[in-house]
Homo-oligomer: A and B are copies of this chain.
């Protein structure tokens, strides 16, 4: 398979953040073979991108895709009652097929939003993996493990986590990678975390974890063992560049520096944090200063309620400005970095940048919509003005999965109708 994208303005996201105007992109197989002006090679498929901007695909580093089924089911509630009265009782009734349909819905939404890869932590991962396989998207999947100190539960969770890694890693032509997913220090025993670390080393797999999302979990752990969550994980030897830690809102300065030093990627989820009223903004500036890799996530559709990375970039930039009384911090370019190159780095992907040798994961944006005219600054338009309606084409692993606004590998209409039915059924069980 070869693909030639002609006449593009490329937001390359390379080291210099070059914008290449009037360039072509030649894709061979799953990789970008050349980026140059006037490429003469013949390709099986040619896309004219004149007047459009090509941007690396967004990497949504924190999602629970199947939670689309509960989008709008319970909003404006205090976190604990939201979970215990609404979310957990419904999740207890989920079946693998529900997860499959909810994930397909999420995939369609993400493709339309220019997301080319997402990280997911949930259960019934076979359902999610099947959806990813069919959709053409790339994903890093982990079975979410919670033991609450129960040995039987721990062993069961670890078995399932390991099964998912064994069965799915490298599948879908390499689009699926896997990781281990201990839910959080407050829901996982020390033994579960230690065993996870062992398995991660055995399989060379990454670890997804929730870290210091709320103030409560930090002080609960501190009361219990005298340490804050990142300190606790540090002393376990748990922290490394294999770890992708979501939220990190309530971290001390010394935890910021510890996480950065150990090479942990931290994932900001501004919409979810604001909606659930965690009360704090991730200290993104401190993470930058400490040299940490900061990525971006939407979190699940229940606590967002959208999977748009455009929206999350805008919320990220504005939340930092608001929290710090400083309009200069987390500028548009940095927000775009979070969503592209930093996200790819977090998941260990050779992507997030448009350059030769990189995975061919990118979107073609059409700015000829009223909300993205004029174009004084394309990066500003992407972060502050654009939306999924600007996404014309999406390429993942060298393959067009959205073309002229049409989903290529899935039956979108059928998925929307079926997901609506599954969702109605789920809440009436």
List CB contacts (< 8 Å) of A121-135 with chain B: none
Asked if A43 is at the interface of the complex by the 8 Å CB criterion, the answer is no
* Interface contact A332-B384, CB-CB below 8 Å: no
Question: Given that A277-B326, A279-B325 are known contacts, is A109 also in contact with B370, CB under 8 Å in the complex?
Answer: yes
* Interface contact B306-A371, CB-CB below 8 Å: yes
Asked if A105 is at the interface of the complex by the 8 Å CB criterion, the answer is yes
Asked if A195 is at the interface of the complex by the 8 Å CB criterion, the answer is no
* Interface contact B376-A327, CB-CB below 8 Å: no
List CB contacts (< 8 Å) of A250-309 with chain B: 271, 273-279, 281, 301, 304-308
Question: Given that A72-B374, A375-B420, A416-B370 are known contacts, is A277 also in contact with B327, CB under 8 Å in the complex?
Answer: yes
Whole-angstrom distance between the Cβ of A298 and the nearest chain B Cβ: 11
* Interface contact A76-B389, CB-CB below 8 Å: no
Whole-angstrom distance between the Cβ of A368 and the nearest chain B Cβ: 6
Q: Specify which chain B residues have a CB less than 8 angstroms from the CB of A68 in the assembled complex.
A: 373-374
* Interface contact A105-B277, CB-CB below 8 Å: no
Question: Given that A277-B327, A324-B277, A416-B370 are known contacts, is A72 also in contact with B306, CB under 8 Å in the complex?
Answer: no
Asked if A199 is at the interface of the complex by the 8 Å CB criterion, the answer is no
Q: Specify which chain B residues have a CB less than 8 angstroms from the CB of A113 in the assembled complex.
A: 371
* Interface contact A318-B274, CB-CB below 8 Å: yes
Cα of A264 to Cα of B273 in the assembled complex, Å = 33
* Interface contact A73-B376, CB-CB below 8 Å: yes
* Interface contact A321-B277, CB-CB below 8 Å: yes
* Interface contact A305-B370, CB-CB below 8 Å: no
A60-94 interface code vs B (CB 8 A; 1 in, 0 out): 00000000111111011111001000000000000
Cα of A376 to Cα of B76 in the assembled complex, Å = 14
* Interface contact B321-A373, CB-CB below 8 Å: no
Asked if A322 is at the interface of the complex by the 8 Å CB criterion, the answer is yes
Give the interface SS of chain A, mostly helix, strand, loop or mixed.
Answer: helix
A34-59 interface code vs B (CB 8 A; 1 in, 0 out): 00000000000000000000000000
* Interface contact A388-B416, CB-CB below 8 Å: no
* Interface contact B384-A69, CB-CB below 8 Å: no
The 8 Å CB contact of A305, one of B75, B77, B307, B385, is B385
Most B-side CB within 10 Å, residue of A105, A369, A376: A376
* Interface contact A370-B277, CB-CB below 8 Å: no
* Interface contact A76-B327, CB-CB below 8 Å: yes
Asked if A164 is at the interface of the complex by the 8 Å CB criterion, the answer is no
Asked if A380 is at the interface of the complex by the 8 Å CB criterion, the answer is yes
List CB contacts (< 8 Å) of A360-383 with chain B: 368-371, 373-377, 380-381
Cα of A319 to Cα of B323 in the assembled complex, Å = 11
List CB contacts (< 8 Å) of A318-362 with chain B: 318-319, 321-322, 324-328, 331-332
Q: Specify which chain B residues have a CB less than 8 angstroms from the CB of A376 in the assembled complex.
A: 70-73, 423, 427
* Interface contact B271-A72, CB-CB below 8 Å: no
Q: Specify which chain B residues have a CB less than 8 angstroms from the CB of A424 in the assembled complex.
A: 374
Asked if A419 is at the interface of the complex by the 8 Å CB criterion, the answer is yes
Cα of A178 to Cα of B418 in the assembled complex, Å = 49
Asked if A392 is at the interface of the complex by the 8 Å CB criterion, the answer is no
* Interface contact A71-B374, CB-CB below 8 Å: yes
Asked if A206 is at the interface of the complex by the 8 Å CB criterion, the answer is no
Asked if A217 is at the interface of the complex by the 8 Å CB criterion, the answer is no
Cα of A420 to Cα of B73 in the assembled complex, Å = 41
Q: Specify which chain B residues have a CB less than 8 angstroms from the CB of A281 in the assembled complex.
A: 322
Sampled A-B contacts (7; CB under 8 Å) = A72-B375, A72-B380, A76-B317, A275-B317, A305-B384, A369-B416, A387-B389
14 additional A-B pairs beyond A75-B377, A77-B327, beta carbons within 8 Å, are: A71-B376, A75-B380, A76-B327, A76-B328, A78-B327, A78-B328, A82-B327, A109-B371, A276-B327, A277-B321, A277-B325, A306-B371, A319-B322, A374-B423
Q: Which residues of A contact B (CB under 8 A)?
A: 68-73, 75-79, 82, 105, 108-109, 112-113, 271, 273-279, 281, 301, 304-308, 311, 314-315, 317-319, 321-322, 324-328, 331-332, 368-371, 373-377, 380-381, 384-385, 387-389, 412, 415-416, 419-420, 423-424, 427
